[in-house]
Each structure stands twice: as C-alpha cells, then as structure tokens.
Homo-oligomer: A and B are copies of this chain.
Amino acid sequence: MNLTKHVSLNINVRGSGQSATLAINDRCKGLQCDGKKIYNFGLGQSPFPVPTPVVNALKLYAHEKDYLPSKGLPALREAVAGFHKEKDKVDVSPEGVLVGPGSKELMFLLQLVYYGEIIVPAPCWVSYVPQARILGKKVRLIHTTYEEKWHMTASRLTELLEEEHDIYRPRILVLNYPGNPDGLTYTKDELKDIADVARKYEIILLSDEIYGQLNHKGEHVSVARFYPEGTILSSGLSKWCGAGGWRLGTFSFPKNLDWLLEAMASVASETYTSVSAPIQYAAVHAFRGGVAIERYLWHARRILSTLGNICQKILVDAGLRVHPPEGGFYLLLDFTPLAEKLAQRGIKDSVTLCERLLQETGVAVLPGAVFERPPEELTARLSYVNFNGANALATSETYPIHQELPEDFIMRTCEDTITGVKIIAKWVS
C-alpha cells in the first residue's frame, strides 16, 4: 500500500513552490542557522512594530470569540470608510468595504469570482500571476521600462486596450503605488490620464494602495479620486501599520461594483468565513488613527526616505541604475549598465545574479524575474528593512520633527542595511 503512488494534483498547482518573498525568508533563516552572516533584503515586511495603541486594543479585545460577518465587523467597515475619506478624499461607504485575511487573499478571491481579463503592469507584486495560474487563468502584462520610471502610461494602456477592438471585453487593471517592487509612485496627472482611459474603455481598476501611507512625503494620491465609480481601493494593516503577520486587508468598492463585493463575500463565507475577531476589533483603532499613529507614520516615513535615498546613492555611484525612492521600502536595482562585466562572470539573468550575490556575499535580494520581468533583464528588488524598527523609531523621536535625519543617525540605527548595500556596490566593482 503506497498512497504516494497515486499523487493526484490539480495540474494548475503541480510543481508550484512557495511564494517567492516567503521562500527567500526561509532560505535566509536556513543560511543564518548555518552560521553565515546574511543581509536579508528579500522579505517585504515593515521593520516597525505595530503602534502601541493598536497592540493595546488587541489585548483589550482578546476575549472576542464570535464569528463575525463575512464582510467584516461593522465598526471596522465604518473605520475603513472613514480612513479613505480622510486620507484619500475618496467617498467610500461602510457598505462598500470588504475585510479579508490580507489583501493577497482578497486579490485571489477577486480573480476567482471575476470572469474577465486581468491586466497588470510589470514589474509587479509577486503573487498576481501565481494566483492566476492556480485558477487556470492568464494575466496580461504591460512591460514598463527603467526610462519610464517603471510606470505604465495612459498611452501604453490605450494601445493594449485598442489591440482587442472589443469595448465590452471585461477587464480589470491592477495598479500598485507606491509600488512593490519599485518604491515609486504616480503623479496626480498620470493618475488622471489613466483614469480617463479606464473610464473610456469601461475597465475596472484595482488600486493596490497598501503602501499609500508610506508615501515618503505623506502626499499619497488615490486614483479613486479621478475614477470613483470604477475603482476598487485596496489597503490593509500590513505595511503602514507594521502588522503584516496579523493578516488583515481591505477592499473598498463603489456602489455599482457591489456585485463583485457580494460575490467575494459569498466565497469568503464558504472559505475563510471571516477575519479573526480580536484582530478586527484592534484594527478599528488602527484605521480610526489619532495623534499617536500619525506621529508613528511621520517618523516611519522620515526614516524610510532618508535610508532609501542613501542606499540609492551608494548603488548609483557603483554604476547601477536606481530611481530615488518615493514611498514604501523597496528599490528596484537595474544592473544593466554592468551587463558586460557581469556576463564575464557568467551572470546573464536575474536569477543567477541573485543566487551568485547571495552565495558570494550573503546579501539576499529577489530577482526581477519573480516580479514578471524578462528573465535576462538584470534587475532585482532590494527591501531596505533589515534594521531594528523599534529602535529606529525611538531614536528618530529624539530629533526635532521638521529636521532632516543626519547621516550618522542612519549609520547607527540601520548599520546592517548600509553595510549590505555597500557589499553589493563592492561586489559589482
């Protein structure tokens, strides 16, 4: 008797491994256990602790044990709507909010319930395409370039939409800004132009703004302002609230997309049921915000902006192409100017690039290929979060709030980050 003889797996699932961002983390931990010094720029996790008032709220509601409605705790749906009204100036109603165990799960449900095409500008977040593959669907990618600041333009979008000559083709365009893996964001005018195209072709926008509150200038603009009737606004606790491991994401729908909300809630009720009750009660406090959370965000932005820009300069000086960061905690490194030198070392694609970098120096970054870039393009994502966020926040608080952080601050609080980046610079020289 050997049940393994009859391995019976869905062909869409066969051979798929772990999500790339999670896998790199496990790999780094393994190497660390072997005693190797690792600079883990792989995982995209906020370095900062969950703000104290939010942790205290979780303690307060630890006894909450009832199944909550699949769409979410009413008070939380209200808080999320209020958050988008205040922060994004978008008129979200509580009835339009869907709460899920991470926006990743919500994205999966959206792909599951929606019958139509998903369009994603690439580089893009690692899970859109694997999710589509699991569901036996295809994603249409729009490849952007370094010169375009990795932005999809309205004209590129128009081009793709015109290709089909099919105005009624059901389509969702996924936008993500500040962006993972590029750390860049769109200007108001760019968003307006994209919104105009979306309206003209009647496509739905899924606007993934989970890094919105980590716009380094605190000036995030949502595309939902310019296309409210067709935009689903995605957010969650993972990035700006430092609570990735808590697993809470939100989608906010306009009234006329409630058929999508209802279908997703129906599938939710047959799968994860609802998000963990104590977490939802605590999240109410996060989305309601307040002075302590605003101060937390203010310091987080100042630290990330300062650190990101220092890293960018080191890498540019070493000959890489990297745009100065505008939000979140990623840099997309483009090694193309060094292609010849790297080719002499046998490095001709992004996977080899990252593998060799990790093996030869202990620096872990993720290859552009996992962000749907062409395999031979020498790009990689660097997540500059390998520092003690609690310590950095506490130290930042000792500096006057409207002053720039001095370079020695970064050297003291983010030493490993700078060292790791310098190792990359040295490795390519």
Q: Which residues of A contact B (CB under 8 A)?
A: 1-4, 6-11, 13-14, 16-19, 22-23, 25-26, 43, 45-46, 49-50, 55-56, 58-59, 62-70, 101-102, 104-105, 108, 112-116, 127, 130-131, 134, 168, 170, 199, 202, 204, 229-230, 242-248, 256-257, 259-260, 263, 265-267, 269-279, 282
Contacts and interface: CB of A to CB of B under 8 A. Distances in A.
Oligomeric state, in copies: 2
Contacts of A259: 4, 7, 9
Given A3-B230, A245-B274, A247-B274, 17 more contacts: A1-B229, A10-B113, A10-B115, A13-B112, A18-B265, A62-B282, A65-B245, A65-B246, A101-B247, A102-B272, A104-B272, A104-B273, A246-B277, A247-B272, A272-B272, A276-B276, A279-B279
A112 B127 CA distance: 17
Contacts of A17: 266
Given A13-B113, A114-B8, A242 B276 contact: no
Contacts of A266: 13, 16-18
A67 B247 CA distance: 8
A63 B67 contact: no
A22 B278 contact: no
A205 to B, nearest CB: 11
Task: List the 3 shortest-distance A-B pairs measured between CB atoms, nearest first.
Answer: A245-B277, A8-B170, A19-B269
A244 B65 contact: yes
Given A62-B59, A278-B279, A69 B22 contact: yes
Given A3-B202, A67-B45, A267 B22 contact: no
A174 to B, nearest CB: 15
Contacts of A247: 101, 272-277
A267 B257 CA distance: 27
Contact of A55 (B63, B69, B267): B63
